[in-house]
Amino acid sequence: MNRQFLSNVLVFAALMVSGFTYSTSVQAQDMLYGCDPFSSDTWGSILPSLEKKGVSFSADITQFYFGVLEGGLEETSRYAAHGDYVVNFDAGKLGIQDGLFLKIRAEHHLGESINDRTGAFLPAVMRADLPVRDSENIYVTNFLFTQFLSSRFAVFAGKLDTIDGDLNAYAHGRGKTQFSNVGFIINPVALRTIPYSTLGAGFTLLGQEGLPVFTYTLLNPTDTTRTTGLGELFEEGVAMSAELRLLTAFGGFPGHHLFGGTWSSREYAGLDQDPRILFPNVPISQESNSWSLYWNFDQALVTDCWNPAAHWGVFGRAGIADSDTNPISYFLSLGLGGKGLLNNRPNDSFGLGYFYSGTSGDIAPFIERLVGGIGDGQGIECFYRVQITENIYVTPDLQIVIPARDQVDTAYIAGLRALLTF
């Protein structure tokens, strides 16, 4: 066990708690001495006032301190952080157009993640490297217009990030509220055909919960996180995705089944560098078109009749992909997760999951030339997310990852994630 890592985790936790305590004490002193931080000339009243007029703002900072305790490529620990800033405009409230909305999201990260030290192709802390792994600049990953044509049907167009796809009640959360490993955030088989942030358009049909039942999206097939994307729109073909998410009620408990598929007409001649998956940059046999099919489910097993938001249950994912172009030919995962496990901690959440990632036999030989023998990857992750205050969450996280690289030992990973929302 790496004692230095454990010591640093305790220091990281202490700094977070002391910072939170300081912030709370400052607010208390301001109230005591007549400087009310929520008076009419502060953000406390400005933001609600703007929201009534059709402009809402949200932001969060997620901090990560993770380490490889044993195995992997290197036993080390690193600090990273991710900032996420979202502005929504309601054109109806602004007096411009009823049912029209604009969403702008900007993201950046700083520090270094441990993803390249675990030896695994699937990042253990995916969010720590988004939106661009080798840059700490702020990038606009969403500039999306949505027009509702009825209460349940809408069309959209603009620049969008695709991480909100493959929605699952217990295994999603964009990597900041539930699991950290990409294997439990989104199905990796779809990442080859669908870029992280690019231009696109489509339509969505909402269900009774106000969440999408069916969504179709036509996309530019290359990632344009760093640019507007207008200069390369459809230069390399097109990509498209479709998802159908159905509500179930087995045993009287809520659940969902999601069926999705992607297709791209792009020509593939190499493994692109992508912060969501860490395959080496090697050439492959040139192939046109690529596809993936995937499914996920979540099913509640226990619910709290006094608190509908508190429930826990099981989840799973499965997917297959074109082995000629996709390094991951199939994927499976299964786990347990939820919120309100403890009666006296209704807003805490937890998760425990296992995944198996099957490497394409057609692409493995190209990777082996650079890194040696290749097999299949596996992993286990468990976390418990603790609510400290209304806006502060701290999440201890443990992972055991068996890399697909034959010459790399099993990586034992531990870390702490802290989320501050505004």
As a whole number, mean pLDDT of residues 192-213 equals 92
The two three-digit tokens of residue 365, written as one number? 């030989």
pLDDT of residue 23: 38
Q: Give mean pLDDT, residues 107-136.
A: 95
CATH, domain 53-421, list 2.40.160.180, 3.40.50.720, 3.10.20.340, 2.60.40.10? 2.40.160.180
| 254 touches 247 (CB < 8 A) | yes
Whether the predicted pLDDT of 330 surpasses 60: yes
Q: Is the per-residue pLDDT at 18 higher than 70?
A: no
Span 143-196, pLDDT tens digits: 999 999 999 999 999 999 999 999 999 999 999 999 999 999 999 999 999 999
Report whether pLDDT(356) > 50. Answer: yes
Which SS3 state, helix, strand or coil, does residue 33 take?
A: coil
* Mean pLDDT on 20-47: 41
pLDDT by residue (tens digit) across 76-90? 999 999 999 999 999
pLDDT at 49 over 80: no
Burial 93-127 (b: 16+ CB within 10 A, else e): eeeeeeebbbbbbbbbbeeebbbbbbbbbbbbbbb
Asked if residue 67 has pLDDT above 70, the reply is yes
**35, pLDDT greater than 70:** no
Lowest mean pLDDT among 7-11, 48-52, 90-94, 381-385: 7-11
363/325 Cα distance (integer angstroms): 7
Q: What six digits make up the tokens of 99?
A: 């049912």
* Residue 285, H or E segment: strand 283-304
Which pLDDT score, from 0 to 100, does residue 46 have?
A: 64
Ranges 220-224, 245-249, 337-341, 394-398: which has the least confidence: 337-341
Give the CA diameter of the chain: 70
SS (H, E, C) 323-379: CCCCCEEEEEEEEEEEECCECCECCCEEEEEEEEEEECCCCHHHHHHHHCCECCEEE
Give 245-287 pLDDT, tens digit per residue: 999 988 889 999 999 999 999 999 888 888 899 888 888 888 8
Q: Residue 15 pLDDT > 60, yes or no?
A: no
Give the pLDDT score at 167.
94
- pLDDT at res. 342: 80
When pLDDT is averaged across residues 192-201 and rounded to a whole number, the result is: 96
pLDDT for residue 6: 56
Predicted pLDDT at 39: 38
Buried b / exposed e over 28-48, threshold 16 CB at 10 Å, is eeeeeeeeeeeeeeeeeeeee
Residue 160 identity: L
CB 418 within 8 A of CB 16: yes
**pLDDT at 133 exceeding the cut of 70:** yes
> What distance in Å separates the CA atoms of residue 335 and residue 350, rounded to the nearest whole number?
11
Q: What is the mean pLDDT of the chain?
A: 88
User: How many other β-carbons are positioned within 10 Å of the β-carbon of residue 251?
Assistant: 9
CA distance 80 to 115: 11
For 27, the token pair is 């607010």
Sequence spans of domains, the chain:
1-50, 53-421
Whether residue 387 is predicted with pLDDT greater than 50 in this model: the reply is yes
Under DSSP, is residue 132 helix (H, G, I), strand (E, B) or coil?
Answer: coil
The span from the CA of 223 to the CA of 225, in Å, is: 6
Q: What is the pLDDT of residue 251?
A: 86
